[in-house]
Amino acid sequence: MTTTRPRLVVGISGSSAPQYGIALLEALRKLGTVETHLVVSAGARRTIELEARRDPGEVCALADVVHDSRDLAAAVSSGSFPTLGMAVAPCSMKTLAAVAHGHTDDLLSRAADVTLKERRRLVLVARETPLSLIHLRNMTAVTEAGAVVLPPVPGFYSGPRTIDDLIHHIVGKVLDQFGVEHDLFRRWTGPTREFS
């Protein structure tokens, strides 16, 4: 596929809350300004079915290009394939550990590794609670390597009323990391009567 749009790699790992990755793909599709390259782990396919109650094929159809998570020869496995970077939403602790230690046995971890080595933006929506010392050390390791750890912690300054509002707030924060303009949540401009 030839395009003049910038490319963003989206990974969905097997963590709870695949809704974040789905909402990210939906937002990017609606915006139409970025070409999406999707990698879905085997575990994510199962959580999409169980938690989002959606067909993984339907979710994959939201992306411009879908890469098999077992295909280490895919375009996104090479630094010569230009992208804005990569967002993994959600990012399981298994995927976090793989990225932290350079263990690239599938395309999701390989694409993340390539993103780091090329000094591109890697955003990991790390989804687990509570966090063990191992999790925290892995978060430190990826941060030191240049990644952004962006846990899906809800913000309430935008006045969310639904779960979708909370999800869109996190997706908006992810898009902010790549400089992608959006209107997914109301930005803080200072106290108003509503918040007084």
Tens digits of per-residue pLDDT, 130-166?
A: 999 999 999 999 999 999 999 999 989 889 999 999 9
Helical spans, DSSP H, in 85-130: 93-100, 107-117
Please tell me the total number of residues recorded for the chain in this structure.
196
The rounded distance, in Å, linking the Cα atoms of 135 and 63 is: 30
Could you report the per-residue pLDDT of 39-52, keeping only the tens digit for each? 999 999 999 999 99
Could you report the per-residue pLDDT of 164-178, keeping only the tens digit for each? 999 999 999 999 999
From its phi and psi, is residue 85 left (phi > 0), alpha (psi between -120 and 50) or beta? left
Q: Are 55 and 27 in contact (CB under 8 A)?
A: no
pLDDT at 3: 59
Q: Which residues are annotated as a binding site for FMN?
A: 14-16, 41, 92-95, 127
Q: Which residues are annotated as a binding site for dimethylallyl phosphate?
A: 157, 173
Which residue's entry shows tokens 């990225």?
99
Average pLDDT of span 63-82: 98
Q: Is the pLDDT of residue 82 over 60?
A: yes
Domains of the chain: 7-195 (3.40.50.1950)
Q: Which residues are annotated as a binding site?
A: 14-16, 41, 92-95, 127, 157, 173
**Which pTM does this prediction carry?**
0.95
Average pLDDT over the chain reads 95
Q: Are 3 and 35 in contact (CB under 8 A)?
A: yes
Q: Is the pLDDT of residue 2 over 80?
A: no
Average pLDDT of span 61-82: 98
